Amino acid sequence: MATSNLSAYDPQSVPDASNMIFGIVVAEWNPEITGALLSGCVSTLEKHGALPENIHVKRVPGSFELIYGAHQMTLNDGYDAVIILGSVIRGETPHFDYICQGVTAGIARLNATSNIPVIYGLLTTNDMQQARDRAGGRLGNKGDECAIVAIKMAKF
């Protein structure tokens, strides 16, 4: 279990993002969580110079659809990086395992085959409180972390 703050980083280690264009695909499922992830991600991109008009957000119904949305964005030559944001919370059935494994494999495949990085911002938690803790709560915001990773990988 992560115990460090996801939003803690050295700002000096982050390249200038003022000439970068980012695609963000965010799941509509668990909107309290995904909305907070998106807010953190966008504000961190802008904090490091990304212009609001260079941050393109698309929404998909659920986390499994993040793969398709990210793939479509990788086909557009204009993005320097694509970020996926979603939240899957464990329930009483194996649905959690299938979705988490499927999204992870799909995003890994995109990273291996596309020309731009796809940043994995899927929270996979046991309960809603764990998700809140990682979406602006006591452990920071995974959206912040994804923004930093996207900027760094765009410069890779």
Rounded to whole angstroms, the Cα distance separating 49 from 38 reads 17
Among residues 19, 8, 17, the alpha carbon closest in space to that of 48 is found at 17
Q: How many beta carbons lie within 10 A of that of residue 68, not counting itself?
A: 12
Phi (first) and psi of residue 143, to 5 degrees: -60, -40
The DSSP element (H or E) to which 32 belongs, if any, is: helix 31-47
Using CA atoms, how far residue 107 sits from 16, 68, 90, in Å, is 25, 9, 20
Catalytic annotation, pick one of 48, 56, 71, 95: 95
Asked about 71 being catalytic, the answer comes back as no
Active site residues: 95
